[in-house]
């Protein structure tokens, strides 16, 4: 199988399985998505979705959140882990959005990544899913699968992102990001990986690939 054939096979398989993948984090706009993605660091989406209703009931925009004490935020988000750091970041970035961005989440990588607690992966999710800008956020699922499918050497997420952007057309990046996450959770898990039930690994997994 050539590299082009492999890419087409992966795209077709994911399109058939997940033609319209939803964003796994519950949100209603760019701000609530930003907060949810920030909370998801080292935490499952399921747990984040259990925590955010109470947080967003208290404050669902930067104006309201900037007035909430860090201690109150920390109390609510504690189940997500890293609550001292995350609560401070949520408070600080909300104030910055009000002071520097007229209460609107900035729509550029540079400005997003300048916000407290917002790294490149978080910025990429917001840019792609909130603003429709082509991006390829790489989380642990995508990093793991890219290595298993021999799409990247797996050294770090930065290299994986570069490799995937070179292999797949830009117009597919935003949906592929979600498709690979869902596939990784359902078929290509980190533990107890059932290769016989993993369509893509059977076809293009490292042991199946031609050198």
- Tens digits of per-residue pLDDT, 29-38? 999 999 999 9
Alpha carbons 65 and 56: distance in angstroms, whole number? 9
Place of tokens 């770090």: 156
Q: What is the pLDDT of residue 207?
A: 52
Q: What pLDDT, on a 0 to 100 scale, did the predictor assign at position 139?
A: 87
90 pLDDT exceeds 90? yes
> Of 60, 121, 171, 207, which one is the catalytic site residue?
121
Cβ contacts of 131 within 8 Å, gap of 6 or more? 30, 107
Q: Which domains does the chain have, with CATH numbers?
A: 3-21+136-204 (1.10.1670.10), 30-129 (1.10.340.30)
Per-residue pLDDT of 140-191, as tens digits, reads 889 999 999 999 987 899 999 999 999 999 999 999 999 999 999 999 998 8
State the Cα–Cα distance between residues 79 and 51, nearest whole angstrom: 7
Active site residue 121: yes
Q: Taking residues 88-109, report their average pLDDT.
A: 98
Catalytic residue chosen out of the listed positions 50, 139, 171, 194: 139
Q: Per this entry, what is the length of the chain?
A: 211
Q: Has residue 211 got a pLDDT over 80?
A: no
pLDDT for res 7? 96
And the tokens for 200? 């893509």
Whether the Cβ atoms of residue 30 and residue 24 lie closer than 8 Å to each other: no
**pLDDT for the residue 192:** 86
When pLDDT is cut at 50, 70 and 90, the band that residue 206 belongs to is: low
Say yes or no to pLDDT of 209 above 70: no
pTM to 2 decimal places: 0.91
* pLDDT band for position 127 (cuts 50, 70, 90): very high
pLDDT surpasses 60 at 103: yes
pLDDT band at 208 (very low <50, low <70, confident <90, very high): very low
Decide if pLDDT at 201 tops 90: yes
Residue 27: name the closest of 102, 121, 126 by CA.
Answer: 126
Residue 210 binned pLDDT confidence (cut-offs 50, 70, 90): very low
- What's the mean pLDDT in 42-54? 96
């Amino acid at each position: 199988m050539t590299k082009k054939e492999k890419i087409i096979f992966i795209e077709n398989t994911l399109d058939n399985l997940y033609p319209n993948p939803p964003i796994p984090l519950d949100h209603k706009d760019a701000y609530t998505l930003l907060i949810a993605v920030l909370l998801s660091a080292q935490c499952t989406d399921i747990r984040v979705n259990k925590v955010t209703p109470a947080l967003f009931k208290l404050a669902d925009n930067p104006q309201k959140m900037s007035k909430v004490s860090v201690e109150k935020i920390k109390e609510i988000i504690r189940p997500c882990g890293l609550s001292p750091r995350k609560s401070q970041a949520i408070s600080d970035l909300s104030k910055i959005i009000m002071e520097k961005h007229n209460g609107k989440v900035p729509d550029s990588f540079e400005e997003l990544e300048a916000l407290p607690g917002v790294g490149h992966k978080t910025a990429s999710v917001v840019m792609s899913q909130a603003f429709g800008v082509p991006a390829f956020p790489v989380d642990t699922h995508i990093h793991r699968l890219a290595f298993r499918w021999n799409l990247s050497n797996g050294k770090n997420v930065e290299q994986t992102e570069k490799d995937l952007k070179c292999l797949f057309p830009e117009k597919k990046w935003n949906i592929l990001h979600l498709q690979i996450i869902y596939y990784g959770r359902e078929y290509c898990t980190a533990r107890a990986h059932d290769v016989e039930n993993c369509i893509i690994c059977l076809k293009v997994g490292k042991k199946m690939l031609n050198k």
